[in-house]
Amino acid sequence: MIGLSHYLVVSGILFSIGVVGVLRRKNLLMLFFATEIMLNAANIAFAAVSSYYGDLSGQMFAFFIIAVAASEVAVGLGLLIVLYKKQGTLDLDNLAAMKG
């Protein structure tokens, strides 16, 4: 029988994959992908807790996380396009050129 802990372990593994991606990547688009992975891991944990405790709040929070992720992608992708037009690359190290 699959318990709550199984889902939480999978969610933790996925979140760690996302964290490793955020720490390891230098390309901004890849950082966005890793952020999406982390948000989805949190969604799995919320849905599992909501299902096993018979409480719908977890699913509600998962909905709001999806809304936040969608708006984050809309704004972030616009910013990425502007950055790419200005600098011609998406490398994170180029952002250090901003410092005085």
Partner 1 sequence: MEQFAFYLFSVLTIGLFLVTVLSNNVLYAMTSLAAGMVIISGFFFILGADFLGVVQLIVYVGAVMALYSFGMMFFDATREIKEKNTNAYLVFFLGGMIALLLVVMFSVLIMGEGIVAMYPTPEGANNPQAVGLVLFTKYLVPFEVAAVMLLVAMIAGIILAGKKMDDSLTTKDENHEEEMTFSLKDVR
Which tokens hold the place of 20? 């490793």
Kindly tell me which of 61 and 100 has the beta carbon lying closer to partner 1: 61
Q: Of 51, 41, 49, nearest to 21 (Cα)?
A: 41
The single residue among 2, 96, 97, 98 that binds partner 1, judged by CB under 8 A, is 2
Q: Are 48 and 67 in contact (CB under 8 A)?
A: no
Considering only residues 32 through 91, tell me which ones interact with partner 1, judged by CB under 8 A: 32-34, 36-37, 40, 43-45, 47-51, 53-57, 59-60, 62-64, 66-75, 77-82, 84-86, 90-91
Examine residue 16 and tell whether it contacts partner 1 (CB under 8 A). yes
State the minimum distance, in angstroms, from the CB of residue 17 to partner 1.
Answer: 5
